[in-house]
Amino acid sequence: MSYVVAIKAAFVCFPFLLLLLFLPYMIREYHKYGSVYWYRGLILFSFLLYLLVAYFLVILPLPSIEEVSAMTTPTMRLIPFAFVTDFIKESGFVLQDFSTYIPAFTSASFYVPVFNIFLFIPFGVYLHYYFEWDLKKTVLASFLLSLFFELTQLSGLYFIYPRGYRLFDLDDLLLNTFGGFLGYFLGSFFLKFLPTREAIDQKSLKMGEKVSFVRRVLAFSFDTILVSVLIGIFRLPYSYLWFLGYFGILPLFLNGQTLFYKFFHLKIYRETPHWYSYLERFLFLSLEMYGFVYFAFLIVGIFSSYLGIWNFVMRWLLALAFCIYYLLIFFKMLFHKKLFYEKFSHTFLISALKKENSFVDEN
């Protein structure tokens, strides 16, 4: 029953952990491969879920501090293979008596050691199949993870409790490590019918040849945040000119890239480049993103005294119109259609992940 509680708790907590880690994961993937391949994400986040389940199985259910304070049982057992003696003593197993088999093999003295083996089999599978670790590294990692779990128990959940509320057992270390060992060989089985790590990487790089919507938005957003933070820290005047310099002049010295375009392997491309191409691109970008909005509200402001009660209505209609307008921009970017500023500046983004095979976006 405690196993079910621990597994349910892990599945409840996992979405929050996923939300916390998904953005850093995307940043790392776009930086390394230029894309986020769903299959890699499935492997890595399922591995994360497995580790969370294993951790919760080790620490849950949590007793009260009062219960732990009243405990007088040993906190450590350092006798190797004591689980064999426990099985013989507690299960009632008699080799010649077949009627003892079912009770013995369904007793805690049997399924708890078996559970400790099975708990680490997936760990060995993941390390061999995806991370491509050899047997020695897999066994060592299995031992260290098991040691971490055992020390977590021995320390009373990192000294939250006055003493360990579960037993630090040498057998658990041995059985967990053996589970990782078995998982390594099962990983060889998965390699026979699942894509290899190399195939996954090649697929990711191939996808990275196309500039995705999320990739370009992330790069532009981080660039904008960087400039905004610098302006705020150093209290720089004329903020628009700093943005103009960053997006319009800096790419001249970075081969068509800003700092985060470089980080995400993006490059501004124009068939017949000019020194002012990047300035032209940013000016048209400013006009598309902000100019029309300011112009429209300026006109309404000028004529507000003549509009009377309609002034309020016009402002809300304008706000609605611009929500629709930005929604259209969103969908054009999503479906890789050129925006106004790209058409007028004759520039667009390409992937610079592989210079020798630089992919030019057909749109």
Nearest residue to 187 (alpha-carbon basis) of 99, 124, 260, 255: 124
Does 186 lie in the same domain as 40?
yes
- For the segment 126-130, the average pLDDT, to the nearest whole number, is 95
Does 196 lie in the same domain as 54?
yes
Domain-ending residue, one of 174, 203, 232? 203
Task: Give the type of residue at 7.
Answer: I
Residues in the chain: 363
Question: pLDDT at position 314, please?
Answer: 67
Does 44 lie in the same domain as 148?
yes
Question: pLDDT at position 24, please?
Answer: 97
Question: pLDDT at position 356, please?
Answer: 37
- For the segment 131-137, the average pLDDT, to the nearest whole number, is 95
User: Which of the 8 DSSP states describes residue 181?
Assistant: H
Cis peptide before 74 (omega within 30 of 0): no
Per residue in 168-179, pLDDT (tens digit) is 999 999 999 999
Question: pLDDT at position 136, please?
Answer: 96
Of 328 and 168, more confident: 168
> Dmax over Cα atoms in the chain, in whole Å?
104
Provide the number of structural domains found in the chain. 2
Assigned token pair, 91: 């299960």
Question: pLDDT at position 88, please?
Answer: 85
Distances 237 to 241, 264, 279 between C-alpha atoms, Å: 9, 29, 20
Does 132 lie in the same domain as 19?
yes
Quick check: 174 and 150 in contact, CB under 8 A?
no
Give dist(CA 311, CA 303) in Å, integer: 8
Strands 266-269, 348-351: pairing kind = antiparallel
Give dist(CA 204, CA 217) in Å, integer: 19
Per residue in 337-357, pLDDT (tens digit) is 777 788 888 899 999 986 434
* pLDDT above 90: percentage of residues in the chain: 61
Is the sign of the CA dihedral 145, 148, 154, 158 positive or negative? Answer: negative
Give dist(CA 88, CA 79) in Å, integer: 16
* pLDDT beyond 90 at 154: yes
Does 261 lie in the same domain as 192?
no
Does 191 lie in the same domain as 261?
no
Query: Is residue 336 one of the residues assigned to a domain?
Result: yes
Domain-ending residue, one of 203, 237, 266? 203
* pLDDT above 70: percentage of residues in the chain: 88
Query: Is residue 180 one of the residues assigned to a domain?
Result: yes
- For the segment 106-126, the average pLDDT, to the nearest whole number, is 93
Does 277 lie in the same domain as 164?
no
Residues spanned by the domain of 164: 2-203
Query: Is residue 134 one of the residues assigned to a domain?
Result: yes
Give dist(CA 182, CA 54) in Å, integer: 17
**With a threshold of 0.75, does the pTM exceed it?**
yes
Contacts of residue 35, defined as CB under 8 A and 6 or more positions apart, other chains included, come to 29, 204, 205, 207, 208, 210, 212, 215
Question: pLDDT at position 70, please?
Answer: 92
Does 193 lie in the same domain as 63?
yes
* pLDDT beyond 90 at 245: yes
Query: Is residue 220 one of the residues assigned to a domain?
Result: no
* Helix-, strand-, coil-residue percentages of the chain, each rounded to 5: 70, 5, 25
Q: Chain-wide mean pLDDT for the chain? A: 87
Assigned token pair, 109: 């003295």
* pLDDT beyond 80 at 40: yes
Per residue in 19-28, pLDDT (tens digit) is 999 999 999 9
Does 259 lie in the same domain as 111?
no
Question: pLDDT at position 301, please?
Answer: 63
Query: Is residue 230 one of the residues assigned to a domain?
Result: no
* pLDDT beyond 70 at 42: yes
Per residue in 258-297, pLDDT (tens digit) is 999 999 999 999 888 788 889 999 988 888 777 666 666 6
Domain-ending residue, one of 167, 183, 203? 203
Does 278 lie in the same domain as 195?
no
Query: Is residue 181 one of the residues assigned to a domain?
Result: yes
Contacts of residue 182, defined as CB under 8 A and 6 or more positions apart, other chains included, come to 117, 121, 124
Quick check: 180 and 128 in contact, CB under 8 A?
no
Does 187 lie in the same domain as 64?
yes
Does 259 lie in the same domain as 199?
no
